[in-house]
Chain A
Amino acid sequence: MSNNTSVVKNAVCTFCGCVCDDMELTVDLDEKRITKAKNACVLGRAWFYEHKIENYPVALIDGKEASLEEAVDEAARILVNAKFPAIYGLSDTTCEAQKEAVAIADYINGNIDTTTSVCHGPTGMAFQGVGESTASLGEIKNRADFVMYWGGNPAEAHPRHFQRYAVSPKGLHIPNGKEDRTIVMVDVRTTQSASVADIFLKVKPGRDFELLWALRALVKGAALDSSVEETTGIPLDTMKDLVERMKSCQFGVIFFGMGLTMTRGRHFNAGALLALATDLNDYTHFVALPTRGHGNVTGADNVVSWQTGYPFGISFNRGYPRFNPGEFTTADVLARGEIDALCVIASDPGSNFSKKAIEHLRAIPVITLDPKPTVTSQLARVAFTTATYGINVRGTVYRMDNVPLTTRPAFESPFPSDQDVLSAIKERVCELRGLKHASNRMTRQTAKVAV
């Protein structure tokens, strides 16, 4: 370790959706690495410590080293030539890069989709169906005396969630921290998180919907048949007690994870939970929040929404955005063998998609942007090495509760940012398609269609 160090205060950790912004990073500027990450959790420390600048080529074409310009040109050509290209990923990069990615999708008449479609996509669909009552995390800290976690394991997935936002912190109306709160955990198994819970409900696997539906009925004062105990694995008296606590708290919150959204029932599970929180507003103030995983997946939702009107699963093939999860989401278009080119930013579908999807991934030209080699980058036609957002790249990220923050990079990377690469590809795409200085014919010409 050299003596040439610097300290970055209030740095932003972009590892998970908590996006803690109180990091104090000690940086060895000669070795280009972080030697200390004060306040970081176990996941954050790994994220910071393991980040080193490796000697990768900036770009590979067919596995051979290439210049950035050559790779940009090749990537642009692949995307322009494709009849059904898709852009995917985006949850671990800055909003500035995400904006460029949506622009490219628009200019190539392709698909744009984010990792939301494989995590809280169902929540997004449920939100469109039933709405939601939500809050920024500080409201939970300041007010929530009833805190419930459903289908998630924050102790391992969001280690500081308890401490910073929802369980132990003291707040305006919560002077004693955890003592002033009732903590409830609902899951199909006893996880590490269960230890903080005052009440733990072990719901039968795949029966979250029935339990949520039963709780909604109890909130509305309806009588329930005792068979619901058998179905859900939860005694009726326990449910009634829970509902009483929910109705009588000052400010309640339910956090929910992929244990709810990615199990049988998916968007209806999320919808039932959002509806339960909304129903409870007849009695008290009540909110619900998905615990989002990736550091800027919430930013991806936001950017894609403001640019297109829709959050994910979008096709521009007709020259304007159309939305349909299942039809345009990446895992589905890959599994059905539909797309003929894919650009992946900061994600690794090659390691976590279905077998069928990966088979098709191998059959089409793929472009990747990632700080490190991944399964997907290994099979890519064009692979860019990019700087790591947050640690090396300044930009905007959104916390899981939609609060935007600006990152404070620790040191410079020799690699270009995702934004730099995507912006270059965008420029090249516009050149190849002759979009520059094209005569723009239209003012009010809109397609009043809904196919």
Chain B
Amino acid sequence: MKLRLHTTPEVPLEAEVISPDALQGLSESEAALLPIYHGNRKVGLGEFFEISGRVDESEGVVEVEGDLSRVKLIGHSMSAGRLVIHGSVGAHLGASMKGGEIHVSGDAADWVGREMSGGRIVIQGNAGHMVGSAVRGSSAGVQGGEIIIHGNALNEVGNGMRRGLIAVGGNTHDFTGVNMLAGTIVVLGRLGMRPGAGMVRGSIVAMERTECLPTFTYNSTIQPDFIRFYLFHLRKLGMSIKDEFINGQYERWSGDSLELNKGEILMYAG
């Protein structure tokens, strides 16, 4: 099935129905009636999107195009299939996602894959704040799955992450992996300030040096197998990984000593 934004929304749209789960088995006219919110007005999907074709049974592919930067909640709770987005998307892409794959050719706004538990999200461009994070008040964020950002990401990547993988091709802003419970975050560029603050377990891997908090201590310089494993995996997913990263040494800093001190920040050391 293909969706094309035919009318620019005056105010943000909330369209969690744009997901293979919700669209599966529907005709074009049935899909056009699925409810979305244009601000506080409940309207049919067809009021903003031109819909063509059906979601095929086997692959479950939905393609969306147009400037979707004001369309929120795309792929919410998605459990299977493939959502291919040509362009940029608004907030909460793939929030609470359980399975399947989302691919975005442009940028994504805040809250990509928050509370995700499975599946994969790939953003070719940049992402906003709170990639793969917990909601306010909650201590647990991503429970599983993979988020791949080819560009940069802003604050609080992986806040409260419990399991899974988040990879950022560029740089992240502050508090990457804050309050992480477990899981892995790989940043091919530089971490912002205060990575891993309050982390309990888990690994944050970065290719450029950053200052660590006073509650992190340097242990040793090592060549962990798991980094090679993850980097090969990311390379297979299309990220450009330099060979020296795969074969390199990493400074290991453990923390946060205010918590269990079982987390680690690994920084490429050549």
Contact = CB atoms under 8 A, between A and B. Distances in A.
Specify whether A and B are partners: yes
Interface stretch (A143-151, A190-198, A211-219): A211-219
B214 A217 contact: yes
Given A209-B194, A220-B258, A450 B136 contact: no
B30 to A, nearest CB: 21
A196 B37 CA distance: 55
Contacts of A268: 175, 178, 194, 197
A222 B257 CA distance: 8
Interface in A97-140: 108-110, 125, 128-129
A450 B193 contact: no
Contacts of A450: 96
Nearest to A272: B197
Nearest to B9: A83
Nearest to B38: A83
A217 B257 contact: yes
Interface string B6-50: 000011101010000000000000000000011111000000000
A327 B114 CA distance: 14
B129 A326 contact: yes
Contact of A84 (B11, B95, B178, B257): B11
Nearest to B261: A222
Contacts of A209: 194, 197
A340 interface: yes
B211 interface: yes
Q: Say whether chain A's binding surface is mostly helix, strand, loop, or mixed.
A: loop
Contact of A317 (B39, B193, B211): B39
B10 A83 contact: yes
B178 A327 contact: no
Interface in A435-451: 450-451
Interface string B174-210: 1100110000000000000110010000000000000
A210 B213 contact: yes
B238 interface: no
A231 B194 CA distance: 12
Given A108-B40, A317-B39, A325-B136, A210 B214 contact: yes
Interface residues of B, number: 39
A397 B97 CA distance: 44
A403 interface: no
A282 B76 CA distance: 43
B174 A225 contact: no
A110 B129 CA distance: 24
Contact of A213 (B12, B110, B258): B258
Nearest to B73: A451
Contacts of B73: 451
A217 B39 contact: no
Interface residues of A, number: 39
B136 A84 contact: no
Interface string B109-127: 0110000000000000000
A202 interface: no
A339 B70 CA distance: 12
A225 B217 contact: yes
A405 interface: no
A316 B12 CA distance: 14
Contact of B91 (A85, A225, A327): A327
Most buried by A among B38, B41, B257: B257
Given A84-B11, A213-B258, A327-B91, A265 B136 contact: no
A323 interface: yes
Interface of B: 10-12, 14, 16, 37-41, 70, 73, 76, 91-92, 95-96, 110-111, 129-130, 135-137, 139, 174-175, 178-179, 193-194, 197, 211, 213-215, 217, 257-258
29 contacts: A82-B39, A83-B10, A83-B41, A84-B40, A85-B40, A108-B40, A128-B136, A128-B137, A129-B139, A129-B179, A213-B213, A213-B214, A213-B215, A213-B258, A214-B215, A224-B214, A228-B214, A231-B211, A264-B174, A265-B175, A268-B194, A317-B14, A317-B37, A317-B39, A326-B110, A327-B110, A338-B70, A340-B39, A451-B16
Given A108-B40, A210-B213, A450-B96, 4 more contacts: A213-B215, A222-B215, A268-B178, A324-B136
